[in-house]
């Protein structure tokens, strides 16, 4: 839990490698799940996970204990994943929203969330860039300014894309019988 993470991070900040190893073991599956959206290739995925934890180790001094460690770690993972796409000249738009369909649908709907397959089908109607914006904004809880920076667009453009994505998702959900409110 958060109390355990806090104790382990403080120990790791003091140079305790075993404490950091415990953090890695605790959060490796979550980090892998975040990064799987960027690459399902095992070798790339392992490299991305390793890079995330290297950056976390180097940046431990910047973590603020008033926020959950896992949120900070997931942000690092998202940055690593986005950099991977830029380096490989691939667009993250096609893979980012593959996980978390239920979560996005719950956010968009007052009705019970559809089954995962149905949610995936509904979200597949969104253009890839709109799926990406909604995933980063709602699933990863990333601020729009940070999304804009990662995607190389202006904050105003990110706001417009988020608005359009929500509007499109609302239309899709309404068309399929869900009550969509934002």
Which tokens hold the place of 54? Answer: 């290297």
Q: How does pLDDT run across 70-79, given as a tens digit for each residue?
A: 989 998 998 8
In words, the CATH class of domain 92-182 is mainly alpha
Q: How does pLDDT run across 18-62, given as a tens digit for each residue?
A: 999 999 999 999 999 888 877 778 899 999 999 999 999 999 999
DSSP state of 97: G
The architecture that CATH gives domain 1-90 is Orthogonal Bundle (1.10)
CB atoms under 10 Å from CB of 157, counted, come to 13
- Provide the residue ranges of all domains of the chain, joining segments of one domain with +: 1-90, 92-182
């Amino acid at each position: 839990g958060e109390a355990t993470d806090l104790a382990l991070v403080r120990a790791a900040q003091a140079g305790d490698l075993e404490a950091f190893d415990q953090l890695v073991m605790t959060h490796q599956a979550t980090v892998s799940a975040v990064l799987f959206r960027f690459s399902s290739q095992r070798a790339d995925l392992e490299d991305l996970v390793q890079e995330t934890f290297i950056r976390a180790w180097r940046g431990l001094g910047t973590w603020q204990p008033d926020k959950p460690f896992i949120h900070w770690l997931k942000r690092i993972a998202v940055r690593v994943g986005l950099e991977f796409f830029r380096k490989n000249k691939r667009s993250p738009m096609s893979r980012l929203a593959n996980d978390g369909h239920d979560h996005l649908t719950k956010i968009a709907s007052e009705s019970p969330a559809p089954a995962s397959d149905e949610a995936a089908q509904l979200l597949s109607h969104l253009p890839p860039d709109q799926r990406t914006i909604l995933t980063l904004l709602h699933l990863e809880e990333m601020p729009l300014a940070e999304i804009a920076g990662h995607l190389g667009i202006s904050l105003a453009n990110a706001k417009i894309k988020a608005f359009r994505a929500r509007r499109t998702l609302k239309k899709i959900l309404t068309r399929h019988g869900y009550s969509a409110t934002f």
